[in-house]
Amino acid sequence: MALKTIDAPNLKQWLETRQAVLVDVREPAEHAAEHIADATLLPLGSVSIAALPDCAGKKLVIHCRKGGRGGSACEKLLAEDPNLEIYNLEGGIESWRAAGLSVAGSGAAFLPLDRQVQMTIGLMLIITSLLGYIFTPTLFLLTGFIGLGLTIAGATGFCGLALLMARMPWNQRVKASYCAIK
């Protein structure tokens, strides 16, 4: 089954007419910093049919920052129930904001999870390359191991480093009300 998408203006209309339930699959700190009003937080690692809010008779719309994690969540849910009427917000919350639609949240600066992962991998590559140059070329194997991890993440969509980063304390420090599933 092809993944269905919806754009921000149509989603806004669905939400105003109560035709849809919106689920945010980003991490708690991302949601606290900025979110679409009435979106239910359900981090990607927790996504399952059983964890979804009640959406009987309504369309289920998933969103993240840019659409990638939302697409992964949709695929995961469709694997559990192929008959589920589910949509991914095309372009995520960034497209919502770009359409001039309002967002709620603390407004606190937050480095998105994907950028945290990119910075971590970049630093790991720099450090292992320097160690290999300074001490022994055998340490360049670590650089290759990091590249292998990136290749596996790209091929499978599973990134263990992203899951680890999501559990870091700085990604968990949010008010309890933001973490509660509605």
In angstroms, the CA 154 to CA 134 distance is 30
27 by Cβ neighbours in 10 Å (0-12 / 13-18 / 19+) ranks as buried
Phi-psi region of 100 (alpha: psi -120 to 50; beta: other; left: phi over 0): left
From the list 55, 64, 74, 179, the catalytic residue is 64
Phi-psi region of 171 (alpha: psi -120 to 50; beta: other; left: phi over 0): alpha
Burial 59-83 (b: 16+ CB within 10 A, else e): bbbbbbbbbebbbbbbebbbeeeee
Pairing of strands 20-24, 59-63: parallel
Structure tokens at 172: 């968990």
Annotated active-site residue 64? The verdict is: yes
Residue 61, H or E segment: strand 59-63
Q: What residues are annotated to the active site?
A: 64
